[in-house]
Structure formats: structure tokens, C-alpha cells
């Protein structure tokens, strides 16, 4: 299904993924959409360098899921969920600033 609506106009240039998504079908689909696949190859040693970019995303998701409300997805309405995400991000930023100062 093609992206629609206001948010559907954004198209990433690259997609970083782990070995679970290493398949010709995934790579082909991404290339058809003009997205460069950065997918770790199966049966290769760790150290491909993808972790340097991916760990930022993994860490942030972990921080967001530290908020039990978001981890369990209590809100079924998108606007409420987005508001809770915004509050969680503000909380994360406040903690980072307190640690920094």
C-alpha cells in the first residue's frame, strides 16, 4: 500500500536493519522504492558497522518503553499516543540535560 496523507510524503533515503531482514525480496522491494538497504548479511561476523547507527534508535526505543504507558500501548487513539510520546521525549530530554549539567 503506498504512503498516503501528510506523513506519507516522507521517503527515507536509507534503511538500517539487522540480519533478520536479510533477504533478496526485502532488498529488491527497498530498491524499487529508491531506498538504499543497509541490512546486515546473515552468517557474517559482527562488526559490519551498522550497529554504530542502529544503537541510537535501539537505545531511544528502550528509553521510550521505560514509560509503561507507551510500552503497553494503552492509548488506541493516535492523537493520545502521539501526546504521550511527546511527554516521554520531553522527560528523556530533561533527564539528559540534568545529567549533562
**Angle of CA points 17, 97, 10, to nearest 5°:** 35
pLDDT of residue 43: 80
pLDDT of residue 32: 94
- Evaluate if pTM is beyond 0.85: no
The whole-number average pLDDT for the span 2-16 is 70
- Number of Cβ within 10 Å of residue 18's Cβ equals 14
pLDDT of residue 3: 54
Give the span between the Cα atoms of 101 and 66, in whole angstroms.
23
The whole-number average pLDDT for the span 65-87 is 81
Whose grid coordinates read 521510550? Answer: 64
- 24-73 confidence digits (pLDDT tens): 999 999 999 999 998 888 887 766 566 666 677 778 888 888 887 777 77
Amino acid at each position: 500500500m503506498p504512503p498516503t496523507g501528510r506523513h506519507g510524503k516522507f521517503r527515507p533515503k536509507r534503511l538500517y536493519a539487522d540480519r533478520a531482514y536479510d533477504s533478496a525480496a526485502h532488498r529488491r522491494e527497498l530498491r524499487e522504492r529508491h531506498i538504499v538497504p543497509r541490512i546486515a548479511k546473515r552468517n557474517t561476523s559482527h562488526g559490519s558497522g551498522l550497529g554504530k547507527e542502529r544503537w541510537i534508535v535501539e537505545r531511544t526505543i528502550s528509553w521510550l518503553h521505560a514509560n509503561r504507558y507507551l510500552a503497553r500501548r494503552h492509548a488506541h487513539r493516535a492523537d493520545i499516543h502521539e501526546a504521550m510520546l511527546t511527554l516521554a521525549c520531553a522527560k528523556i530530554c530533561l533527564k539528559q540535560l540534568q545529567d549533562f549539567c
